[in-house]
Chain A
């Protein structure tokens, strides 16, 4: 109960003191404001980049393994990978027959060709040749229409599925389904448009791609190409186990002796996530360092003004002590005041940062996380209490007689 009165009286005094020195309090709190604005925007940006990444990475499917010549991360020895033997189309059949821990396997090959519809052209579009299993193996979603069937796929029919950007570019006004486009000069009938993926990987997403049956691809655009094999891990199976199984099958298919190291890589989304995690961690470190610095400077400002405040109110402290305020009461009074100034700074900071985060939302899919709001306010409080402590301690130790005599 007693403590409650102290808090109430502390708040009352603090409000009054701040109101009496509005301009000074606001200026003092500037460092805190800047600190809070930068910390919230930083957190909001990281949140946005994270979300964008998650969205992009999900395009790779979290339970999909990609068998390739190259590893996705750590190209330290590019020539070593470059000189590896190409991945052959047959491996896809071998994997699909022998592997028990994956349930969809699709090979894909890529080239770049111009795509045309009527007078509209999309230059250097990624053309992917694959099988009917691709949709399952890669986890892509179709917006409208259907993926090609196993008959169309095996028979190498001139049909295609196009990415969202391709559809937008070639068919700004009409429905693309059942229309025939020219890919590298050859006619292909559009079966479906894929759902838009967007995300950080830009041109590499399916948005800018055209998918055609692999047999047709080989006929029209040539067959000597490096193949990528996508394999979806069966539900409930540990991804590492599936990876191990694929590794064994691939080693056998590529006739590797036990002593030889793998001349292929099995990639997964997790690798990207890890690399990405390191990047955001670095950004966060730099950001929080800057933030910490501005909060520190802000804290010094608060400390300075609290010393001024204590000196100005020496007489008041003397009066309060003379009528029974304890040391703790005085200490608390000034701590509350410092904390309140900082809290006001934090709130001003949030009021500035929030509209800015809405602007950021135009660029990145983000929103200021609620936890950041809470954390900002707690940090402001923390800075206030810390920088208020020394001045408040000084006030609490004032000798009542000396303080009363102060003019």
Chain B
């Protein structure tokens, strides 16, 4: 076990008790290490446990058994408040369905993690503006989600995920609800973010998207089927 890993999973299992004798084994012993500034894609058919794994990595969910160390700290021993703090400061989550607050404008959506981090109002505004500009939405800060296109919404979500400068960026099928052109734009953004030093874990079931990553982990039935380095990475541009 190398101390420089951001994420260290050992024999992670997640079992859903469905009542009676029935149970679903969503993860059946997953061991993975992910280092700083890696760009990892998790692939697998639907129901293979990708989201479950992402939720555990993102501290939204806790494994039934196994060891999870985040930046060498044992997550299993954390209480609710500590988990909330990790989610707030260390993890940026991007969802397939954007998950923005519908009634708030882009700026407030991006400010939200800063509010929970206790950042002062002026500083918050500044950082949120900066993050929105970073994802190319400097001119849309006062728009509400329903006044933005799907791609723009996902950019707001990315800005929100990044605004607290987390250790990792988790994205669960971020292009799943986007057409291929806007999807590509988001992938370009991820590429840039990776170049700037961010650690990215991305769930997808599209091979050509996964090939932008440096490493692909393939899941099947809750187990790792393959863990490979991408040899001929595609570097994409929208031009």
Cross-chain contact B81 with A324 (CB below 8 angstroms): no
Give chain A residues whose Cβ lies under 8 Å from the Cβ of B55: 401
Contact of A9 (CB < 8 Å), options: B80, B81, B103, B115: B115
Interface-facing stretch out of B63-71, B85-93, B214-222:
B85-93
A323 to B128 CA separation, bound complex (whole angstroms): 14
Cross-chain contact B103 with A323 (CB below 8 angstroms): no
Give chain A residues whose Cβ lies under 8 Å from the Cβ of B85: 324, 326
Cross-chain contact A400 with B60 (CB below 8 angstroms): yes
What 0/1 pattern do residues 76 to 113 of B give for CB contact below 8 A with A? 00001100110111000101000111010000000011
Cross-chain contact A323 with B118 (CB below 8 angstroms): no
A184 to B84 CA separation, bound complex (whole angstroms): 93
Cross-chain contact A1 with B118 (CB below 8 angstroms): yes
Closest to B56 in A: A401
Give chain B residues whose Cβ lies under 8 Å from the Cβ of A320: 112, 116
CB distance from B98 to the nearest CB of A (A): 10
A316 to B60 CA separation, bound complex (whole angstroms): 15
A399 to B16 CA separation, bound complex (whole angstroms): 14
B227 at the interface (CB under 8 A from A): no
A323 and B113 contact, Cβ closer than 8 Å, known pairs A1-B118, A401-B55, A401-B60? yes
Give chain B residues whose Cβ lies under 8 Å from the Cβ of A16: 103
A324 and B99 contact, Cβ closer than 8 Å, known pairs A401-B55, A401-B60, A401-B61? no
B117 at the interface (CB under 8 A from A): yes
Give chain B residues whose Cβ lies under 8 Å from the Cβ of A78: none
CB distance from A128 to the nearest CB of B (A): 76
A323 and B87 contact, Cβ closer than 8 Å, known pairs A5-B115, A404-B95? yes
CB distance from B235 to the nearest CB of A (A): 31
B58 at the interface (CB under 8 A from A): yes
Cross-chain contact B60 with A324 (CB below 8 angstroms): no
A3 to B73 CA separation, bound complex (whole angstroms): 27
CB distance from A405 to the nearest CB of B (A): 9
Contact of A329 (CB < 8 Å), options: B58, B89, B116, B120: B116
Interface size class of B (residues with CB under 8 A): 20 to 34
Give chain A residues whose Cβ lies under 8 Å from the Cβ of B212: none
Cross-chain contact A324 with B88 (CB below 8 angstroms): yes
A1 to B123 CA separation, bound complex (whole angstroms): 14
What 0/1 pattern do residues 116 to 145 of B give for CB contact below 8 A with A? 111010000000000000000000000000
Closest to A319 in B: B99
Give chain B residues whose Cβ lies under 8 Å from the Cβ of A2: 118
A27 at the interface (CB under 8 A from B): no
B160 at the interface (CB under 8 A from A): yes
Give chain A residues whose Cβ lies under 8 Å from the Cβ of B58: 322
Give chain A residues whose Cβ lies under 8 Å from the Cβ of B120: 1
CB distance from A399 to the nearest CB of B (A): 8
Give chain B residues whose Cβ lies under 8 Å from the Cβ of A329: 116
Give chain A residues whose Cβ lies under 8 Å from the Cβ of B84: 321, 324-327
Give chain B residues whose Cβ lies under 8 Å from the Cβ of A5: 115, 118
Interface size class of A (residues with CB under 8 A): 20 to 34
A73 at the interface (CB under 8 A from B): no
Within 8 A of B (CB), among A1-23: 1-2, 5, 9, 16, 20
CB distance from A310 to the nearest CB of B (A): 16
A323 and B60 contact, Cβ closer than 8 Å, known pairs A1-B118, A2-B118, A5-B118? no
CB distance from A330 to the nearest CB of B (A): 10
A404 to B55 CA separation, bound complex (whole angstroms): 11
A76 to B188 CA separation, bound complex (whole angstroms): 98
A324 to B91 CA separation, bound complex (whole angstroms): 9
Cross-chain contact A326 with B80 (CB below 8 angstroms): yes
Closest to A2 in B: B118
CB distance from A244 to the nearest CB of B (A): 70
Give chain B residues whose Cβ lies under 8 Å from the Cβ of A319: 99-101
Give chain A residues whose Cβ lies under 8 Å from the Cβ of B118: 1-2, 5
Cross-chain contact A326 with B116 (CB below 8 angstroms): yes
Cross-chain contact B80 with A323 (CB below 8 angstroms): no
Give chain A residues whose Cβ lies under 8 Å from the Cβ of B160: 323
Interface centre among A2, A320, A322, A325 (most CB of B within 10 A): A322
A329 to B85 CA separation, bound complex (whole angstroms): 12
Give chain A residues whose Cβ lies under 8 Å from the Cβ of B103: 16, 20
A1 to B124 CA separation, bound complex (whole angstroms): 14
What 0/1 pattern do residues 51 to 62 of B give for CB contact below 8 A with A? 000010010110
Give chain A residues whose Cβ lies under 8 Å from the Cβ of B87: 321-324
CB distance from A349 to the nearest CB of B (A): 28
Interface centre among B61, B81, B101 (most CB of A within 10 A): B101
CB distance from B237 to the nearest CB of A (A): 31
Interface centre among A2, A318, A324, A327 (most CB of B within 10 A): A324
7 closest A-B pairs by beta carbon, nearest first, are A324-B88, A2-B118, A324-B116, A326-B84, A400-B60, A323-B113, A401-B61
Q: List 6 A-B contacts (CB under 8 A).
A: A1-B118, A20-B103, A320-B112, A320-B116, A322-B99, A401-B61
Binding site for B on A (CB under 8 A): 1-2, 5, 9, 16, 20, 315-316, 318-329, 399-401, 404
Binding site for A on B (CB under 8 A): 55, 58, 60-61, 80-81, 84-85, 87-89, 93, 95, 99-101, 103, 112-113, 115-118, 120, 160, 164
Beyond known contacts A316-B101, A319-B99, A324-B164: 12 more, CB 8 A cutoff: A9-B115, A321-B60, A322-B87, A323-B113, A323-B116, A324-B84, A324-B117, A325-B84, A326-B80, A327-B80, A400-B61, A401-B55
